Amino acid sequence: MFRRNKSQDATPTTAVVDRPGSKGRPTPSRKEAEAAAKARAKVPRTRREQMVAQRSARADSTQSVRAAMKSGDERFLPARDKGPVRRFIRDFVDSRFSFIELMIPLLIVTMVLDYSGNAYLANVGNTILLGTIMLVILDMVTMRFKLRRELSRRFPGEPVKGTTYYAVMRAMQMKFMRLPKSKMKIGQKLPETYR
């Protein structure tokens, strides 16, 4: 008498009736409504919340770039360091001995000789400094020609604009200070493919 008819329970009514004034979709379940509320709560609303969110996103990005500079992970490197050509240039510079690495110790020696008070030692220091600068310039010029030759051989058709500047700036840094970190030892043979 007060029981439901089993035939009515077997056919659930999921169809939405388009009535005037209806919302046109089924009411969301509690789980869906709570998930939507959480998603809305994560979106920063005030200017201060937006600034905090941007600052934390920037900090995360900087942290991942810094880690990539140490590990060499190409996914998070800055745009100037990405790609096989830039990786080859880094390896090319790191695998050769550069006179620029002698510059800082020789600058210290020339400073000591200049402040010694002896005119002859000061002249020797200046001569050493001038000779070192000439060697560095000569080394950079020969590095540029060798690099261009290798780039045209290994990467035909690739643009070479900016490659000399990138190589010279890397070569002018002390090897332990270079970022991304050096993976090649001096004199080590370079791999044939960088694709």
Q: What is the mean pLDDT of residues 60-86?
A: 82
Which residue has better confidence, 138 or 49? 138
Handedness of CA 23, 28, 30, 36 (dihedral sign): negative
Residue from 3, 187, 2, 1 nearest 95 by CA: 187
Instruction: Kindly tell me the sign of the dihedral angle through the C-alpha atoms of 69, 73, 74, 75.
Output: negative
Residue 166's closest CA among 92, 114, 98, 105?
92
pLDDT given at position 138? 94
- pLDDT tens digits for range 26-45: 888 999 888 888 777 777 77
Does the pLDDT value for residue 71 go beyond 80?
A: no
Q: Is 0.85 topped by the overall pTM?
A: no
Q: What is the dihedral of CA 67, 71, 75, 79, to 10 degrees?
A: 80
Maximum distance among all Cα pairs of the chain, rounded to whole angstroms: 123
**Does 107 have pLDDT greater than 80?**
yes
Residue 167 has pLDDT above 60, yes or no: yes
pLDDT one-digit tens code per residue, 74-83: 777 888 888 8
Instruction: Supply the pLDDT for residue 17.
Output: 54
First to last CA, the chain: 80
* pLDDT tens, residue by residue, 108-149: 989 998 888 899 999 999 999 899 899 999 999 999 999 999
**Rounded mean pLDDT of 159-172?**
90
| H helix and E strand count, the chain | 7, 0
pLDDT tens digit sequence for 3-26 = 666 555 555 555 555 667 777 788
* Mean pLDDT within 162-175: 89
Residues 6+ apart with CB under 8 A from 148: 160, 163, 164
Residue 56 confidence (pLDDT): 87
pLDDT digits (tens, 9 = 90+) for 79-104: 888 889 999 999 999 999 888 888 88
- pLDDT value, residue 124: 92
- Report CA 175 to chain centroid distance, whole Å: 18
Residues in CB range of 52: below 8 A, 6 or more apart = 44
Q: What is the pLDDT of residue 1?
A: 57
